[in-house]
Amino acid sequence: GWKVSMKSGSLSYILPCNRLPVQLMSQVRVYTSNGQKKDLGSQDTNGSARGETLHKVETGQDTTNAGQKQSSPKQPIQVKVKPVLKKREYGPKYTQNNFITGVRAINEFCLKSSDLDQLRKIKRRSPHDDTETFTVYLRSDVEAKSLEVWGSPEALARERKRRKEAEIKYRENLFRNQRLLWEYKEFFGNTKPRSSTAAMFFKGPGKVVMVAICINGLNFFFKLLAWVYTGSASMFSEAIHSLADTCNQALLALGISQSARTPDPSHPYGFTNMRYIASLISGVGIFMMGAGLSWYHGIIGLLHPHPVESLLWAYCILAGSLVSEGATLLVAINEIRRSARAKGLSFYQYVVQSRDPSTNVVLLEDAAAVLSVAVAATCMGLTSLTGNPYYDSVGSLGVGTLLGTVSAFLIYTNTEALLGRSIEPEQLQRLTEFLESDPVVRAIHDVKATDMGMSKVRFKAEVDFDGRVVTRSYLEKQDIEQLLQEIQQVKTLEELEAFMLKHGENIVDMLGAEVDRLEKDLKQRNPDVRHVDLEIL
């Protein structure tokens, strides 16, 4: 009594068991691909013409009556058939339906703008903020037009090769071309709007830099005369300091002018970082020219002391330098206070974060200049009172140390800015909360906000969109009655596929429109945010 006959449908299984017999019966219904139920039973004697019903009968032994044979009733095993959409294989031919812009069509297929006039034009949502839509063309149409124009793929390949060689030759002669453009500068000035670069030096950081260049240039000239007359090591350090300030501030002016250049294909995010690069080079220049020469001259004075001549003219020049450097320092302080107030930051935060590198360099250089004038005057006074030239050499070392400290600070802050540091956590939190408050957004992940310098922020985030809200937004813009009629007309798989492809593509376009809307709102509410990259999860 250890065998039990377990029956499922028309199959019987003999299983070892020490329990009572258990019978498991199941019933399976058959549905064809057109959704109709088929009555396939044991009474079907024609051998099941469609081949969808299998008959199989097995006999088993009843454990309660050994030796007696029992045959299970004949029941068919019925297979359930599900309708499945055939998987489509996408090959290179399918990608010919991709869209291509007019510029790419002209460049890649060697066409003229007049050649595109005869092609089908398709309006698509523009990726640019200044336009709503833009025109694209089917890639297959462009390829066919290029073959019509050039005759064969070989002729098109030869033309591409010729244009590539011409482009390489043009790059090799770039210097000559720039010189020709300079000769025709007046002609281009009549046809293009004039640059506003010169106006940058009459306000803001440009004004501060220009004032500092003029004052430090005069200071260098008079300090150099005083050093030639007196031979003072401290006065030599002051002259070198003023020369270094003048050269560095001229470099800052170059950085300001270069940062105003418009973005080009090689630099899509512009040239804003040129100010930080100029400030970084300026910091290195202060360290090499200012601190290095001051230390060198001070050490030489300690090793080989020599008497100092009358210091009356040196004191007068130092007094004038103190007044001029102090005036430039006040101009820089007022500019930083105004800019910090506009950004909602304190004076110290604005300087440490290097929000305006050009003004920071002027501020620190002039602050160091005022302190170095005080150090030089003190050491020269001690030399006059005691007659010991070592005090004057010590003053030169003190000025060099002060300049080295300023240069180290400038190098550090500008390096941090060039590496791409994150914005303040409070500002990042405001941007994240603004996106999460929108109904179409479920969650925000992997948020990165980089300070690109000069009040420009690049924001990037992975966004989990709510597909139901996007679909509902799409439905609100549709004619519901017409949509219901389209649904009722769907009878076959082909019609269902066409219906889903049509509205699926429209819903994807709606999702792209929602991304554009979020980016636009984010820029309007936060003017510092210039570049937004929202990636769909």
* Domain range summary for the chain, segments of one domain joined by +: 92-188, 197-419, 425-536
Distance between CA 447 and CA 537 in Å, rounded? 13
What pTM does this model have?
0.60
Note the pLDDT of residue 75: 66
Partners of 448 in the β-ladder:
460
Instruction: Tell the CATH topology of 197-419.
Output: Alpha-lytic protease prodomain-like (1.20.1510)
Return the H-helix or E-strand segment holding 440. none
Architecture of domain 92-188: Alpha-Beta Complex (3.90)
Report which of 275, 277, 295 is spatially closest to residue 287, judged by C-alpha positions. 295
Contacts 24+ apart (CB under 8 A), 145-153: 145/109, 145/111, 145/115, 145/116, 145/118, 145/119, 146/109, 146/110, 146/111, 149/110, 149/111, 149/115, 150/110
How distant, in Å, are the alpha carbons of 183, 266, 472, 488 from that of 177?
10, 18, 56, 67
pLDDT at 17 (0 to 100):
47
361-374 burial, b at 16+ Cβ within 10 Å, e below that, comes to bbbbbbbbbbbbbe
pLDDT for the residue numbered 522: 92
Q: What is the pLDDT of residue 90?
A: 65
Pick the CATH number of 425-536 from 3.20.20.70, 1.10.357.10, 3.30.70.1350, 3.30.420.10: 3.30.70.1350
pLDDT, tens digit only, all 537 positions of the chain: 444 444 444 444 444 444 444 444 444 444 444 444 444 443 443 444 334 433 433 444 444 444 444 545 556 666 555 555 566 666 666 666 788 888 888 888 899 888 888 898 888 877 766 677 778 898 888 888 999 999 998 999 999 899 888 888 877 776 666 666 665 554 444 444 444 556 677 777 788 888 888 888 888 888 888 888 777 776 787 788 788 778 888 888 888 888 888 887 778 878 888 888 888 888 888 888 778 878 887 888 888 887 766 667 777 877 888 888 888 888 888 888 888 888 778 888 888 877 778 888 888 878 888 888 888 888 888 888 887 888 888 888 888 898 889 889 888 888 888 887 888 888 889 999 999 999 999 999 999 998 887 778 899 999 999 999 999 999 998 888 898 999 999 988 888 988 998 899 899 989 998 999 999 999 988 888 888 999 988
Residue with tokens 């709510």: 466
User: The dihedral of CA 485, 487, 493, 495: what is its sign?
Assistant: positive
The residues, ordered by sequence, that sit 6+ positions from 521 with a Cβ below 8 Å of its Cβ are 434
Residue 25: the pLDDT is 43
**pLDDT score for 463:** 93
